[in-house]
Structure 1
Amino acid sequence: MSAGLKSALFPGHVTHARLKPKEHRLAYRIYSLLIDLDELDVLDQRLKVFSVDRFNLFSFYRKDRGDRSGSDLRAQVEEAMNAAGLQPDGGPIRLLTMPRLLGWAFNPLSVFFCYGNDGALRAILWEVDNTFGERHGYMIPVAEGAGNEIVQHCDKAFYVSPFMDMDLRYTFRVSPPTDKLSIRIETRDDKGLVLTARHLAKRTELTDGALLKAFFAIPFLTLRVVGGIHWEALKIWVKGVGLRVRPKPPEMPVSHIHAIASSHNASAKKVDLNEPV
């Protein structure tokens, strides 16, 4: 059914390890879809238990990502690439995200892998949602000559966990999705490592059978993720970690890290969409 498709299912697991001020670890199983944005209509036609912009057991709504307007996601991502000093050439854009289940979705992290027509990965848009209904993205160019593991850096600009400070820095280590997927996110303060999160998964052909198998293997995934976030937060609070005041989200929906700065692993630089690059 999905012969020739770049889109796929990625069952796997996520682990978190907080090192300070109190140690806390968690692990859970998960599955994500890798959706080639150019294949959305094909997926909608071929799959019976998955629909685009319509209710189904599994579904994907364009308004669930980006600026929530439901407008063309490719255009939104390419605008962010331009703002980061990159010139899109129409190459594939593939989104790693959890689907809606019975109409309900929550994604702590969705990732847009932005390729050139030559097949090289040119940029990654890390799109983060918090449980307060807010969203922010980090568009980071991929340095030329990057190996199998891509390493990117940026300063934290968006409130996620109520137990984490804002004056932190992220390091993203990713092996882009092929037969396998590996994402590791390291969060540091000025004294060292605070938290690590890892997502490991293996590629499975995207078929109705594979989707049904995933659903019954991890029933009601969205509910488990949302419930798990609040349950783990309660355990962290009981350990004595205090709450941080939530600031207003950034005015700009995406932090754009300039291509030159990224290629030299320099500090993240947020630029306005109208700023010359």
Structure 2
Amino acid sequence: MNQQIADAFDPVLDPAACFGAVMHERHVGTRNRFIYPTAFLRLPLGRLDDIRVPLLGIERRNVFAFHLRDHGRRDGSALLPWLRSILETHGVLPVCDGEVVIHTMPRIFGYVFNPVSFWFCHDAGGALRVVLAEVSNTFGERHNYLVRHDDLRAIVAGDELRATKVFHVSPFFPVQGEYRFRFEGRGTVHAVAIDYWDGGVRQLSTRVSGRAEPLSGAAMSKWLLRYPFMTLGVVARIHWQALRLALRRVSFYRKPLPPIEETT
């Protein structure tokens, strides 16, 4: 990496490719734990039109591609107006007057499935104030969880933010209980931890983390060499782990109707 670029790189607000791992661990009944390598993008929405990187297309086809239609209203419309309407509806827009960074996976060879994308909403001073978790299930449904402190103070490492579970994701857990989110950043390392609690017992832990590198052709080439079919692998691994649990006769819950509200 060019030293000048490395010295100027802001791992929080600059475009980045992150390389790391995702972990899931089931804590109740039939225990199950797995760790897979992963990679994800961190894209500042205010600078999206300026990103020009080999192998990565923004609103155009390429080996890797980020398309507006994969997020927000899913109709290809601009993302920031959609997000700001949600923030305004929930009374948090005034404190989110800085950059918004989306943490997500791009299309790879035209295919993508994002179990969850995170929208990190900062204030003008760069402090994190609100996070929108955009969740998708394998049934083609989506829901957003908006998490923040009640007093809208800055979110810092170690803070726990809670959201009532209202959306069906896994057939091996009911739609009840709550999620507890933690967002951490140490230098170039970004991590999100989500624990699912029900009845006062931690049921499931999920953690995704990665080390950020400046978004460049070198970073995307590295991604291509390491994980050329990562997005297909996400769906394959979801079904493989579901099959393992089904064969072990873990309780199965039918999918309910999705929540009426888009965001909770």
TM-score normalized by the length of structure 1: 0.87
1:228 aligns with 2:237: yes
Q: What SS class does the counterpart of residue 204 from structure 1 fall into?
A: strand
Structure 2 partner of 1:128: 135
Pairing partner for 1:92 from 92, 99, 113: 99
Q: Do structure 1's residue 22 and structure 2's residue 13 form an aligned pair? A: no
Within the candidate set 136, 139, 145, 2:146 is matched to: 139
Structure 2 distance, partners of 1:177, 1:226, is: 30
How many aligned residue pairs are there? 253
Shift of 1:201: 1.0
What residue number does 2:89 align with? 83
One of 225, 246, 249 as aligned partner of 2:255: 246
**Residues 103, 187 of structure 1: alpha-carbon distance in 2 compared, 3 angstrom cutoff:** same
Flag structure 1 segments of 5+ consecutive residues without an equivalent.
Answer: 256-277
SS of 1:171's equivalent in the other structure is: strand
**CA distances 1:4-50 after superposition (whole Å, capped 9, x unpaired):** 6711011010111101221011110000000101121111xx21211
In 1, Cα distance between the equivalents of 2:17 and 2:108?
Answer: 14
- Separation (CA, whole Å) in 2 of partners of 1:246 and 1:137: 18
Go from structure 1 to structure 2 and tell me whether the alpha carbon gap of 1:146 and 1:108 turns closer, same or farther (over 3 Å shift). closer
Find runs of 4+ consecutive structure 1 residues off by over 3 angstroms: 1-5
Question: Does the 8 Å CA contact 1:84/1:140 hold for their aligned counterparts?
Answer: no
1:153-192 CA-to-partner distances (Å, cap 9, x unmatched) read 0100100011111112100011148511111111011141
In structure 2, the partner of 1:259 is: none
What's the counterpart of residue 32 of structure 1? 40
Same amino acid, percent of matched pairs: 33
**1:56 corresponds to which of 46, 62, 69:** 62
Which residue of 207, 213, 220 maps to 1:211? 220
**Paired residue type of 2:76:** G
User: Residues 74, 32 of structure 1: CA spacing in aligned structure 2 closer, same or farther, 3 A cutoff?
Assistant: same
In 2, the alpha carbon distance for the partners of 1:21 and 1:159 equals: 20
More off after superposition, 70-79 vs 92-101: 70-79
In structure 1, distance between residues paired with 2:31 and 2:70: 33
TM-align CA RMSD: 1.7
| Deviations, residues 39-96 of structure 1 (Å, cap 9, x unaligned) | 21111xx212111121110000001011212211111111111122213454100000
In the alignment, structure 2 segments of 5+ residues that lack a partner are none
